[in-house]
């Protein structure tokens, strides 16, 4: 079965569906030219004949609205908002948006293809992440989050981005041992054209900040709290504010006592415990003022207490748990995404023929969200 069965989106040929969710679907793709196409609508050979520089191309991830929702204007606006905000974020720890546009009137986003898994997936393994590795991944995620908070428009004005959906599902970890923040689908920004409906729950309840749980105005410190919860969970090896229903979860966020990390896991130092505890202070004035401050505190604590990190070890762990569609890409992964090779294209086509599809979660990118204007 030829990979062209999936068709094209704009100038990109879809090679394999990576994930599908309530709102969108994500594909592994490449520029159509790399398949020997002169334009988006032509037919090309599987081996990439007729297009110079095949192996200089990188595979990408193409995200588009699901077919049955494709022409609902609210979803289109929402996806364009996400693309516009994310394209302003520059950090090695934030998944970059490379391109976006319309295909037959329907929007799409092109992102760097991270060959990796979510932090949620990575921490499902029987053995907990090493303390040093966990600290380093959270510090990297904090740096990516800070870059989003510092994003500016073309005139240099701060966009005032607030992610609002920080969780282990929205931190991707690649086979290179690097963590990246993804998914600005629920993010607030100063001039965003779409808003979720008043009273609608925005984000995952057990990672809410207290002010988010109380539906109060937010600033970047809300995201710092959410990332602090993620840090606590990754280091402790268990959930912090899980509840049996919405009410009990929100009550836990607002009232449940937070045990010190040093009492939850042997080998977690007082310095690390204090750094994480400050991130999840319920009084936001007592928290780290920025995600960058949180990252710096974590690294200082790790160095002070001798918690070493190994990107090679992290990368090897990721490679072990990669979903099937990403496994052939690991050997060619490089900054900017995995390189296109004839062998990789053949492997993807083989999986396409076998109807192999990746995780439905796809880094939290695909959850159903009903937007509205205003």
pLDDT in tens, 161-178: 999 999 999 999 999 999
For residues 70 and 77, the answer to whether their CB atoms sit within 8 Å is: no
Rg (CA), the chain: 21
pLDDT at 59: 93
| Total domains in the fold of the chain | 2
Residues 264 and 178 in one domain: yes
* Residue in 170, 245, 253 with CA at minimum distance from that of residue 206: 253
Residues 6+ apart with CB under 8 A from 247: none
pLDDT tops 50 at residue 364: no
Q: Which of 19-23, 45-49, 114-118, 221-225 has the lowest mean pLDDT?
A: 45-49
Paired strand residues for 362: none
pLDDT at 186: 66
Residue 237 lies in a domain: yes
* Cα of 127 vs its chain's centroid, Å: 23
pLDDT digits (tens, 9 = 90+) for 308-331: 999 999 999 999 999 888 988 898
The domain that contains 180 carries what CATH number?
Answer: 1.10.510.10
Q: Give the residue numbers spanning the domain of 170.
A: 118-312
The CA distance from 300 to 294, in Å, is 10
- CA-to-CA dists, residue 308 to 72, 119, 299, angstroms: 49, 19, 10
Q: Which of 90-104, 108-122, 182-196 has the lowest mean pLDDT?
A: 182-196
Residues 18 and 147 in one domain: no
The domain that contains 346 carries what CATH number?
Answer: 3.30.200.20
Q: Which of 123-127, 136-140, 159-163 has the lowest mean pLDDT?
A: 123-127
pLDDT at 127: 80
Residues 162 and 290 in one domain: yes
Q: Which of 143-157, 175-189, 273-287 has the lowest mean pLDDT?
A: 175-189
- The alpha-helical segments, DSSP class H, found in 92-199 are 119-122, 131-149
pLDDT tops 70 at residue 5: yes
Residues 303 and 331 in one domain: no
| 349-355 long-range Cβ contacts below 8 angstroms, 24+ apart | 349/1, 349/2, 349/3, 349/15, 349/46, 351/16, 351/324, 351/325, 352/1, 352/3, 352/5, 352/6, 352/15, 352/16, 353/1
- The alpha-helical segments, DSSP class H, found in 155-245 are 210-213, 220-236
Residue 317 lies in a domain: no
pLDDT tops 60 at residue 367: no
pTM of this structure: 0.85
pLDDT tops 70 at residue 1: no
The CA distance from 336 to 32, in Å, is 18
pLDDT tops 80 at residue 129: yes
pLDDT tops 90 at residue 202: no
| SS3 state of residue 9 | strand
Residues 290 and 363 in one domain: no
Mean pLDDT value of segment 292-310? 95
Residues 295 and 340 in one domain: no
Residues 144 and 274 in one domain: yes
Residue 253 lies in a domain: yes
The top-scoring range by mean pLDDT among 65-74, 96-105, 232-241 is 232-241
The CA distance from 137 to 225, in Å, is 16
- CA-to-CA dists, residue 27 to 152, 358, 366, angstroms: 29, 10, 12
- CA-to-CA dists, residue 176 to 72, 125, 316, 319, angstroms: 38, 18, 8, 9
Residue 335 lies in a domain: yes
Sign for the pseudo-dihedral over CA of 143, 148, 150, 151? positive
In a 10 Å sphere around its CB, with 0-12 CB exposed, 13-18 middle and 19+ buried, how is residue 141 labelled? buried
pLDDT tops 60 at residue 286: yes
Q: Which of 44-53, 82-91, 143-152, 210-219 has the lowest mean pLDDT?
A: 44-53
Domain boundary among 292, 312, 332: 312
Q: What number of residues does the chain have?
A: 374
Residues 277 and 170 in one domain: yes
pLDDT tops 90 at residue 46: no
Residue 45 lies in a domain: yes
Residues 50 and 160 in one domain: no
Residue 270 lies in a domain: yes
pLDDT digits (tens, 9 = 90+) for 75-114: 777 777 788 888 899 999 999 999 988 888 788 899 999 9
For residues 294 and 275, the answer to whether their CB atoms sit within 8 Å is: yes
Residues 293 and 183 in one domain: yes
Q: Which of 125-129, 171-175, 255-259 has the lowest mean pLDDT?
A: 125-129
Residues 6+ apart with CB under 8 A from 116: 172, 173, 174, 175, 318, 322, 326
For residues 172 and 180, the answer to whether their CB atoms sit within 8 Å is: yes
Residues 234 and 363 in one domain: no
Residues 12 and 142 in one domain: no
In the chain, the largest separation of any two C-alpha atoms, in whole Å, equals 64
Give, for 180, the enclosing helix (H) or strand (E): strand 179-181
What pLDDT band is residue 52 in, cutting at 50, 70 and 90?
A: low
For residues 270 and 92, the answer to whether their CB atoms sit within 8 Å is: no
């Amino acid at each position: 079965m030829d990979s062209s069965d999936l068709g094209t989106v704009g100038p990109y040929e879809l090679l394999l569906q990576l994930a599908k969710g309530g709102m969108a679907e994500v594909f592994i793709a490449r520029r159509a030219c790399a398949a020997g196409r002169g334009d988006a609508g032509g037919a090309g050979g599987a081996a990439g004949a007729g297009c110079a520089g095949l192996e200089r191309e990188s595979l990408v991830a193409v995200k588009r609205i699901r077919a049955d929702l494709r022409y609902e204007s609210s979803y289109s606006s929402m996806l364009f908002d996400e693309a516009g905000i994310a394209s302003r974020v520059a950090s090695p720890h934030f998944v970059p948006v490379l391109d976006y546009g319309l295909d037959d009137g329907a929007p799409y986003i092109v992102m760097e293809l991270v060959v990796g898994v979510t932090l949620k997936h990575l921490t499902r393994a029987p053995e907990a992440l090493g303390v040093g590795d966990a600290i380093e991944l959270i510090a990297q995620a904090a740096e990516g989050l800070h870059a989003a908070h510092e994003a500016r428009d073309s005139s240099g004005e701060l966009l005032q981005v607030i992610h609002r959906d920080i969780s282990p599902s929205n931190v991707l970890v690649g086979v290179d041992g690097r963590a990246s923040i993804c998914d600005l689908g629920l993010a607030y920004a100063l001039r965003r054209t779409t808003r979720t409906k008043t009273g609608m729950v925005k984000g995952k309840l057990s990672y809410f900040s207290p002010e988010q749980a109380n539906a109060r105005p937010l600033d970047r410190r809300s995201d710092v709290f959410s990332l602090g919860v993620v840090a606590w969970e990754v280091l402790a090896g268990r959930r912090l504010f899980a509840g049996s229903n919405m009410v009990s979860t929100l009550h836990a966020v607002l009232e449940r006592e937070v045990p010190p990390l040093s009492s939850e896991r042997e080998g977690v130092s007082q310095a690390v415990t204090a750094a994480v505890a400050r991130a999840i202070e319920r009084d936001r004035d007592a928290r780290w003022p920025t995600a960058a401050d949180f990252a710096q505190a974590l690294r200082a604590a790790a160095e002070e207490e001798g918690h070493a990190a190994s990107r090679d070890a992290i990368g090897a762990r990721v490679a072990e748990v990669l979903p099937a569609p990403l496994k052939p890409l690991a050997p060619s992964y490089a900054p900017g995404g995995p390189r296109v090779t004839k062998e990789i294209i053949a492997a993807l086509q083989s999986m396409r023929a076998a109807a192999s599809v990746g995780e439905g979660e796809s880094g939290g990118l695909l959850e159903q969200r009903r937007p509205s204007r205003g």
